[in-house]
Structure 1
């Protein structure tokens, strides 16, 4: 009995041991990895790429400032008194020498009359002194008066003559003051400001009217000291005037020899051709041409500056290649108002023989390197930026 009971206890233990030694079933193989989808083709239309090549790079200086007429004048009161009338208003055209107003001249007329009366009195005194002198000359020869008495007569006649000249000068001065009561336009042009009204009491040198001549007009702009060595008289410029849709050509006419002590900048004067829309005081922005050079460049818009250093996306065969570049000078193409350009110093290969070196324009947007491209002659239904977005 004891042996059977022990054998019966060994059977379960043996089963557990055999189960542990049995090999495990093979694990289920993982699903095969999905293959990467092929990159979408970037379809390029005309305007989606630019050409990197040697170009004429025009370096220029950005400037801004007001317009002013070359010839301006302020009509001032050269005589204190009441303004009787003023015959012009803002916008009226005037001629040089034209009478535009009058100041009350009653006091001046009285002063002129007084000066003329004094001149007449001095003339009478001179006549008496000269008659006395002639009589004394005859008497001294006859021995009736002394030589000293004759010298006194000569001095009296000289004093009377000087008094007459002074009286006549005073009369001329009073006559000129009377003429100053008439206000005349010193230059031809248009009235820009009317600074006094009839009935107003004017002090000496009070401003009455401002006149501007718009036949010659120029822009007054500040130039930094570092740009002064490159500025040349006659240099072309392009200015954008407030209110005008198209920029206007200009040229560097003058350069102030003095610099502002606070900003160290000098003032340049840019002459513009007459234009009916130009007005004294309008503000302008523009560029002055400094130099023209030939450089390997491309449009600034094709330079991608979202990361440092800057880079460009160029096309090698039928693929997009990303290249980090080193840039140099900046300017504009062909003229101071042309397309902005940037010089590429390093990073791009030379252009293939007989073919352009194409660079993706900035309007295409972000594109991954090695994206395949295809050039299309006619515009497709989808725009290039949409194709580029799908190629990411």
Structure 2
């Protein structure tokens, strides 16, 4: 009887252990099923409408539209400087003065001689009208007066040239003289650069010729000025293609009222050659490109469905959607790499 009770007790313990083991396996299985269907966190964005443009992009170095090398027109010693490098000057503004005492004396002497010859000419004219002198004598007096008049005007011009003036408006980009220097005729003394507009000279492949036209809008960004864009326009397009390079020359004028841009700056330029208004757009990072096809994950009822789309122009962070989506649809922008078609998702940012 005692053995029977021990056997029954042992069977009870084994049954309880087996039940507990089965319960644990069932709970473990249920937990695994729950984890396998957990929602994947994603960020999404809506399909919107707006204007999107196509660009021709390239790099460029800025050049000045107008640049003039100022030269001395007479020989002399620099008496004073009126401007310095970096100064903005107007056309005709005085840049420097040369010593002019000798030129003044030469002009005065030329005028005195001219006045004397003028009196001789007047007297000879009266005598000629009274037929008291020959026509040859009268013509000689007339010629001497005219010749001296030209000499006086030349002396006055040389005196005026002792004041060096700006031939164009712009910025003094270089000064080559100092006070006390002797400068000779045609010696370079200043360099003036007109910074507005500045030019971006592009050499564009010939297959782009049909896209570009005069007056198209362009945007310039330079490495020296981060985060700022400058607007310009296509100024002229060469009709000739260089047979050696297969390119044609495009000149873009860039206006900078802030005067931050300088000749020689390196930058990147984009020319807008077409714009689609009221176009469907999504963020560029929503698009998955594989095997020549573009697709997105569209969100419907907390599920992500992969859809192929046809894309168009790319503008900054946006890309045009030609087909495959409608306005108001929602697409995944972050988290696509963890998704499969029809995956359960949790939107964490919109």
Deviation of 1:181 (Å):
0.9
Post-superposition shift, 1:331? 2.9
Establish whether residue 376 from structure 1 lines up as the match of residue 343 from structure 2.
no
* SS of equivalent to 2:260: coil
- Compute the displacement of 1:166 (Å): 1.6
State how 1:219-234 maps to structure 2 within 5 Å: 219-222=199-202, 224=204, 225-227=206-208, 229-231=210-212
Give yes or no for contact 1:42–1:371 (8 Å, CA) kept in 2: no
| SS of residue matched to 1:88 | coil
Q: Does 1:267 align with 2:267?
A: no
Q: State the match for 1:30 in structure 2.
A: none
Corresponding residue number in structure 2 for 1:300:
284
1:199-348 to 2 correspondence within 5 Å?
A: 199-212=180-193, 216-222=196-202, 224=204, 225-227=206-208, 229-231=210-212, 235-252=216-233, 254-256=235-237, 261=242, 263-272=247-256, 274-275=257-258, 277-293=260-276, 294-305=278-289, 307-315=290-298, 317=300, 318-322=302-306, 327=311, 329-332=312-315, 338-344=316-322, 348=324
CA RMSD of aligned residues (A): 3.9
| Secondary structure in 2 matching 1:175 | helix
Is this contact kept in 2: 1:219–1:284, CA < 8 A? no
Aligned residues: 313
Deviation at 1:169, TM superposition (A): 0.8
TM-score normalised over the length of structure 1: 0.63
1:170 aligns with 2:151: yes
**Contact 2:86 / 2:172 at 8 angstroms: preserved in 1?**
yes
| CA shift digits 1:122-158 (9 cap, x unpaired) | 44653564465355x26xxxxxxxxxxx7xx113212
Show structure 2 runs of 5+ residues with no match: 1-28
User: Partner residue of 2:14?
Assistant: none
Shift in Å at residue 172 of structure 1?
A: 0.3
More strand by share: 2
Q: Is the 8 A contact 1:52 1:359 kept in 2?
A: yes
- TM-score normalised by L of structure 2: 0.70
**Aligned mates of 2:241, 2:280 — CA distance in 1:** 38
Tell me, which stretches of 5 or more residues in structure 1 are unaligned? 1-34, 139-149, 333-337, 380-392
Q: Could you tell me whether the CA contact under 8 Å between 1:70 and 1:218 is conserved in 2?
A: yes
Q: Structure 2 CA distance, aligned partners of 1:316 and 1:240? A: 37
Per the TM alignment, residue 95 of structure 1 is displaced from its structure 2 partner at its CA by 5.1
Deviation, 1:121, is: 5.8
Q: Is the alpha carbon distance of 1:256 and 1:76 closer, same or farther for their aligned partners in structure 2, counting shifts above 3 Å? A: farther
Partners of 2:328 and 2:237 in 1: how far apart?
50
Q: Which residue of 2 aligns with 1:59?
A: 54
Larger Rg: 1
For residues 147-182 of structure 1, give each alpha carbon's deviation from its aligned partner in whole angstroms, at most 9, with x where no partner exists: xxx7xx113212320221121112101210111011
Shift of 1:268: 2.0
- Aligned partners of 1:79 and 1:203 also within 8 Å: yes
- Distance in 1 (CA, whole Å) between partners of 2:240 and 2:106 is 48
